[in-house]
A = this chain, B = another copy of it.
Amino acid sequence: MKNGIENGYYHEITPQGFGLVIKAKDVLYSQTSPYQKIEIFNSDSMLGRVLTIDDLMMVTEGDEYHYHEMIAHIPMMQHPCPKTVLVIGGGDGGTVREVLKHKTVEKVTLCEIDEKVIEASKEFLPTVSCELDNPKVDIQVGDAIEFIKDKKNEYDIILIDSTDPMGPGEGLFTDEFYTNIKNALKKGGIMAAQTESPVTNQKEIKKIYEQLHRVFPIVAPYTSNMPTYPGGYWAWVFCSVDVKPLEYYNDERAAYIVPTCKIYNKEYHNARFALPNYLKEIV
Protein backbone atom coordinates (compact mmCIF):
# COMPACT_ATOMS: atom_id res chain seq x y z
CA MET A 1 0.00 0.00 0.00
CA LYS A 2 1.44 3.37 -1.02
CA ASN A 3 1.11 6.57 1.01
CA GLY A 4 -1.37 9.05 -0.45
CA ILE A 5 -5.01 9.02 -1.57
CA GLU A 6 -6.58 5.99 -3.25
CA ASN A 7 -10.18 4.79 -3.42
CA GLY A 8 -11.47 7.49 -1.09
CA TYR A 9 -8.90 7.01 1.68
CA TYR A 10 -5.62 8.72 2.55
CA HIS A 11 -3.06 6.29 3.94
CA GLU A 12 0.25 7.08 5.62
CA ILE A 13 2.21 4.12 6.90
CA THR A 14 5.55 4.60 8.67
CA PRO A 15 8.56 2.40 7.85
CA GLN A 16 7.69 0.67 11.15
CA GLY A 17 4.56 -0.80 9.51
CA PHE A 18 1.65 1.11 10.99
CA GLY A 19 0.04 4.48 10.52
CA LEU A 20 -2.89 6.67 9.73
CA VAL A 21 -5.95 6.32 7.52
CA ILE A 22 -8.38 9.20 6.80
CA LYS A 23 -11.53 9.24 4.69
CA ALA A 24 -10.76 11.56 1.74
CA LYS A 25 -13.66 13.24 -0.04
CA ASP A 26 -12.09 15.51 -2.64
CA VAL A 27 -8.72 16.91 -3.55
CA LEU A 28 -8.82 20.71 -3.46
CA TYR A 29 -5.22 21.43 -4.43
CA SER A 30 -2.46 19.31 -5.93
CA GLN A 31 0.74 20.84 -7.25
CA THR A 32 4.38 19.97 -7.48
CA SER A 33 6.72 22.84 -6.64
CA PRO A 34 10.48 22.80 -7.30
CA TYR A 35 10.79 21.35 -3.78
CA GLN A 36 7.93 18.98 -3.16
CA LYS A 37 4.42 17.70 -3.95
CA ILE A 38 1.76 19.68 -2.07
CA GLU A 39 -1.81 18.45 -1.68
CA ILE A 40 -4.84 19.66 0.22
CA PHE A 41 -7.84 17.38 0.46
CA ASN A 42 -11.19 17.65 2.13
CA SER A 43 -11.42 14.76 4.58
CA ASP A 44 -14.73 13.21 5.40
CA SER A 45 -13.76 13.33 9.06
CA MET A 46 -13.49 15.52 12.16
CA LEU A 47 -10.08 16.58 10.80
CA GLY A 48 -11.59 18.84 8.12
CA ARG A 49 -9.16 19.87 5.40
CA VAL A 50 -5.76 18.20 5.31
CA LEU A 51 -2.42 19.47 3.93
CA THR A 52 0.16 16.86 2.93
CA ILE A 53 3.66 17.30 1.51
CA ASP A 54 5.16 14.40 -0.44
CA ASP A 55 2.30 12.25 0.91
CA LEU A 56 3.23 12.94 4.52
CA MET A 57 0.85 14.57 6.98
CA MET A 58 1.58 18.23 7.68
CA VAL A 59 -1.58 19.98 8.91
CA THR A 60 -5.23 19.18 9.49
CA GLU A 61 -7.78 21.86 10.35
CA GLY A 62 -9.12 19.57 13.09
CA ASP A 63 -5.98 18.98 15.11
CA GLU A 64 -3.33 21.54 14.04
CA TYR A 65 -3.64 23.46 17.31
CA HIS A 66 -2.12 20.48 19.19
CA TYR A 67 1.10 21.20 17.33
CA HIS A 68 1.05 24.98 16.88
CA GLU A 69 0.20 25.84 20.49
CA MET A 70 3.10 23.70 21.69
CA ILE A 71 5.78 24.97 19.31
CA ALA A 72 4.82 28.62 19.97
CA HIS A 73 3.63 29.16 23.55
CA ILE A 74 6.12 26.96 25.41
CA PRO A 75 9.13 29.11 24.37
CA MET A 76 7.17 32.40 24.08
CA MET A 77 5.87 32.20 27.66
CA GLN A 78 9.37 31.59 29.00
CA HIS A 79 10.71 34.83 27.57
CA PRO A 80 10.02 37.98 29.63
CA CYS A 81 9.29 40.15 26.59
CA PRO A 82 9.47 38.52 23.14
CA LYS A 83 9.53 41.28 20.52
CA THR A 84 11.30 39.81 17.49
CA VAL A 85 10.43 36.31 16.35
CA LEU A 86 11.72 34.23 13.44
CA VAL A 87 9.68 31.26 12.20
CA ILE A 88 11.54 28.86 9.89
CA GLY A 89 9.28 26.74 7.68
CA GLY A 90 5.68 26.89 8.83
CA GLY A 91 4.35 28.33 5.56
CA ASP A 92 0.84 27.22 6.56
CA GLY A 93 0.80 30.12 9.05
CA GLY A 94 -0.32 28.22 12.17
CA THR A 95 2.82 29.01 14.17
CA VAL A 96 2.69 32.70 13.14
CA ARG A 97 -0.96 32.84 14.25
CA GLU A 98 -0.05 31.58 17.74
CA VAL A 99 3.02 33.86 18.02
CA LEU A 100 0.90 36.93 17.25
CA LYS A 101 -1.35 36.23 20.23
CA HIS A 102 1.52 37.66 22.31
CA LYS A 103 1.02 41.44 22.46
CA THR A 104 4.72 42.14 23.06
CA VAL A 105 5.58 40.92 19.55
CA GLU A 106 6.59 43.71 17.17
CA LYS A 107 7.73 41.66 14.19
CA VAL A 108 7.50 38.05 13.03
CA THR A 109 9.72 37.01 10.14
CA LEU A 110 8.53 33.88 8.35
CA CYS A 111 11.26 32.20 6.30
CA GLU A 112 9.61 29.54 4.13
CA ILE A 113 11.40 27.98 1.17
CA ASP A 114 8.29 27.09 -0.82
CA GLU A 115 5.89 29.91 -1.69
CA LYS A 116 3.38 27.37 -2.98
CA VAL A 117 2.84 26.17 0.61
CA ILE A 118 1.95 29.75 1.58
CA GLU A 119 -0.33 30.23 -1.44
CA ALA A 120 -2.16 26.93 -0.94
CA SER A 121 -2.65 27.57 2.79
CA LYS A 122 -3.92 31.12 2.20
CA GLU A 123 -6.50 29.80 -0.25
CA PHE A 124 -7.63 26.58 1.40
CA LEU A 125 -6.71 26.73 5.12
CA PRO A 126 -8.02 30.14 6.23
CA THR A 127 -8.29 29.22 9.93
CA VAL A 128 -4.58 28.33 9.92
CA SER A 129 -3.13 31.02 7.62
CA CYS A 130 -5.35 33.84 8.93
CA GLU A 131 -2.52 36.02 10.29
CA LEU A 132 -0.11 35.81 7.35
CA ASP A 133 -1.28 39.21 6.06
CA ASN A 134 -0.88 40.88 9.46
CA PRO A 135 1.36 43.98 9.04
CA LYS A 136 3.68 42.63 11.76
CA VAL A 137 4.54 39.65 9.52
CA ASP A 138 7.50 39.82 7.16
CA ILE A 139 7.44 36.88 4.74
CA GLN A 140 10.81 35.89 3.33
CA VAL A 141 10.54 33.22 0.65
CA GLY A 142 13.89 31.48 0.61
CA ASP A 143 16.23 28.92 2.11
CA ALA A 144 16.58 29.36 5.87
CA ILE A 145 20.11 27.94 5.70
CA GLU A 146 21.19 30.96 3.66
CA PHE A 147 18.87 33.42 5.43
CA ILE A 148 20.25 32.72 8.89
CA LYS A 149 23.96 32.78 7.97
CA ASP A 150 24.64 36.49 8.50
CA LYS A 151 22.13 37.13 11.31
CA LYS A 152 23.68 38.07 14.64
CA ASN A 153 21.87 38.96 17.83
CA GLU A 154 18.54 39.67 16.07
CA TYR A 155 15.77 37.49 17.51
CA ASP A 156 14.24 36.88 20.93
CA ILE A 157 12.62 33.67 19.72
CA ILE A 158 13.38 31.37 16.78
CA LEU A 159 10.92 28.57 15.99
CA ILE A 160 11.92 25.79 13.59
CA ASP A 161 8.64 24.50 12.18
CA SER A 162 10.26 22.25 9.59
CA THR A 163 9.39 19.08 7.72
CA ASP A 164 11.20 15.84 8.60
CA PRO A 165 15.00 15.44 8.50
CA MET A 166 14.57 12.77 5.79
CA GLY A 167 13.83 15.08 2.82
CA PRO A 168 14.06 18.76 1.83
CA GLY A 169 14.23 19.70 5.53
CA GLU A 170 17.48 17.75 6.04
CA GLY A 171 19.77 20.82 6.10
CA LEU A 172 17.78 22.21 9.03
CA PHE A 173 19.09 19.40 11.24
CA THR A 174 22.87 20.06 11.28
CA ASP A 175 25.41 21.39 13.78
CA GLU A 176 26.18 24.27 11.42
CA PHE A 177 22.57 25.36 11.13
CA TYR A 178 21.98 25.15 14.88
CA THR A 179 25.15 27.20 15.47
CA ASN A 180 23.88 29.91 13.11
CA ILE A 181 20.54 29.89 14.96
CA LYS A 182 22.38 30.32 18.26
CA ASN A 183 24.27 33.31 16.88
CA ALA A 184 21.06 34.87 15.55
CA LEU A 185 19.48 34.82 19.04
CA LYS A 186 19.66 37.85 21.29
CA LYS A 187 20.81 37.52 24.92
CA GLY A 188 18.07 35.60 26.75
CA GLY A 189 16.81 34.23 23.45
CA ILE A 190 15.15 30.85 23.01
CA MET A 191 14.97 28.46 20.07
CA ALA A 192 12.23 25.84 19.84
CA ALA A 193 12.06 23.21 17.12
CA GLN A 194 10.00 20.18 16.21
CA THR A 195 12.04 17.02 16.81
CA GLU A 196 9.94 14.15 15.45
CA SER A 197 7.95 11.28 16.96
CA PRO A 198 9.25 9.61 20.12
CA VAL A 199 7.30 6.49 19.09
CA THR A 200 8.52 5.97 15.52
CA ASN A 201 11.61 8.20 15.07
CA GLN A 202 13.85 7.21 17.97
CA LYS A 203 16.94 6.89 15.76
CA GLU A 204 16.40 10.35 14.27
CA ILE A 205 15.68 11.84 17.74
CA LYS A 206 18.92 10.45 19.15
CA LYS A 207 20.90 12.07 16.32
CA ILE A 208 19.08 15.43 16.59
CA TYR A 209 19.70 15.66 20.35
CA GLU A 210 23.39 14.72 19.99
CA GLN A 211 23.70 17.67 17.60
CA LEU A 212 21.75 20.06 19.83
CA HIS A 213 23.86 19.19 22.88
CA ARG A 214 27.02 20.02 20.91
CA VAL A 215 25.68 23.52 20.14
CA PHE A 216 23.45 24.68 23.02
CA PRO A 217 24.31 24.60 26.73
CA ILE A 218 20.61 24.25 27.57
CA VAL A 219 18.60 21.59 25.70
CA ALA A 220 15.19 20.62 27.11
CA PRO A 221 12.90 18.26 25.20
CA TYR A 222 9.17 18.49 25.67
CA THR A 223 6.29 16.39 24.32
CA SER A 224 2.56 16.44 23.75
CA ASN A 225 -0.23 14.56 21.99
CA MET A 226 -0.47 15.14 18.23
CA PRO A 227 -3.32 12.96 16.91
CA THR A 228 -2.38 12.78 13.20
CA TYR A 229 1.40 12.47 13.54
CA PRO A 230 3.02 9.01 13.84
CA GLY A 231 2.37 7.41 17.20
CA GLY A 232 -0.01 10.25 18.21
CA TYR A 233 2.89 11.78 20.14
CA TRP A 234 5.38 14.48 19.24
CA ALA A 235 8.59 15.99 20.64
CA TRP A 236 9.81 19.56 20.45
CA VAL A 237 12.90 21.07 22.00
CA PHE A 238 13.58 24.22 24.00
CA CYS A 239 17.19 25.42 23.52
CA SER A 240 19.03 28.42 24.85
CA VAL A 241 22.44 29.69 25.85
CA ASP A 242 21.28 31.40 29.01
CA VAL A 243 17.64 30.56 29.79
CA LYS A 244 16.58 27.38 31.57
CA PRO A 245 13.12 25.94 30.96
CA LEU A 246 10.52 26.78 33.64
CA GLU A 247 12.76 29.59 34.94
CA TYR A 248 10.39 32.38 33.97
CA TYR A 249 6.61 32.53 33.60
CA ASN A 250 4.38 35.57 33.39
CA ASP A 251 0.91 34.92 34.78
CA GLU A 252 -0.43 38.24 33.49
CA ARG A 253 0.45 37.32 29.92
CA ALA A 254 -0.91 33.80 30.46
CA ALA A 255 -4.23 35.37 31.49
CA TYR A 256 -4.83 36.60 27.94
CA ILE A 257 -3.11 33.74 26.06
CA VAL A 258 -4.75 30.73 27.78
CA PRO A 259 -8.39 31.63 26.97
CA THR A 260 -7.48 31.75 23.26
CA CYS A 261 -6.05 28.21 23.36
CA LYS A 262 -7.61 24.76 23.05
CA ILE A 263 -4.71 23.03 24.79
CA TYR A 264 -2.29 25.46 26.41
CA ASN A 265 -2.38 26.37 30.11
CA LYS A 266 0.25 26.83 32.80
CA GLU A 267 0.00 23.38 34.42
CA TYR A 268 0.01 21.72 31.01
CA HIS A 269 3.06 23.84 30.07
CA ASN A 270 5.06 22.72 33.09
CA ALA A 271 4.04 19.09 32.64
CA ARG A 272 5.39 18.98 29.06
CA PHE A 273 8.98 18.62 30.31
CA ALA A 274 8.31 15.37 32.22
CA LEU A 275 9.39 12.60 29.84
CA PRO A 276 8.76 8.85 29.74
CA ASN A 277 11.77 6.68 30.64
CA TYR A 278 12.37 5.43 27.10
CA LEU A 279 12.66 8.98 25.79
CA LYS A 280 14.87 10.22 28.65
CA GLU A 281 17.35 7.53 27.64
CA ILE A 282 17.76 8.81 24.08
CA VAL A 283 17.72 12.61 24.50
A residues within 8 Å of B by Cβ?
1, 8-9, 11, 13, 16-23, 43-47, 63, 198-200, 223, 225-229, 231-233, 258, 261-265, 267-268, 270-278, 280
> Which one of B47, B228, B277 lies within 8 Å of A258 (CB-CB)?
B277
| Bound complex: CA A271 to CA B273 (Å) | 9
CB atoms of B20 and A9 under 8 A apart: no
- Ordered by A's residue number, 22 sampled pairs between the chains whose C-beta atoms are within 8 Å are A1-B8, A1-B9, A11-B21, A13-B21, A17-B44, A17-B47, A18-B20, A18-B22, A20-B21, A63-B199, A225-B231, A225-B276, A229-B232, A231-B232, A232-B233, A263-B277, A264-B277, A265-B277, A265-B280, A268-B277, A270-B274, A271-B271
Contacts of A44 in B (CB 8 A): 17
A228-B18 contact given A23-B13, A63-B199, A274-B270, CB 8 Å threshold? yes
The smallest C-beta distance from A261 to any residue of chain B, in angstroms, reads 6
Top 9 A-B pairs, shortest CB-CB distance: A232-B232, A17-B45, A271-B271, A271-B274, A267-B274, A16-B46, A263-B276, A225-B233, A18-B22
Given contacts A21-B21, A271-B271, 20 further A-B contacts (CB under 8 A): A16-B45, A17-B45, A18-B20, A18-B22, A18-B43, A18-B47, A20-B21, A198-B225, A223-B225, A225-B276, A227-B232, A227-B233, A229-B232, A231-B232, A261-B277, A262-B276, A262-B277, A267-B273, A268-B274, A271-B274
Closest partner residue, chain B, to A260 (CB atom):
B277
Closest partner residue, chain B, to A224 (CB atom):
B276
> Which one of B23, B231, B270 lies within 8 Å of A18 (CB-CB)?
B23
Contacts of A63 in B (CB 8 A): 199
The smallest C-beta distance from A230 to any residue of chain B, in angstroms, reads 8
Contacts of A271 in B (CB 8 A): 270-274
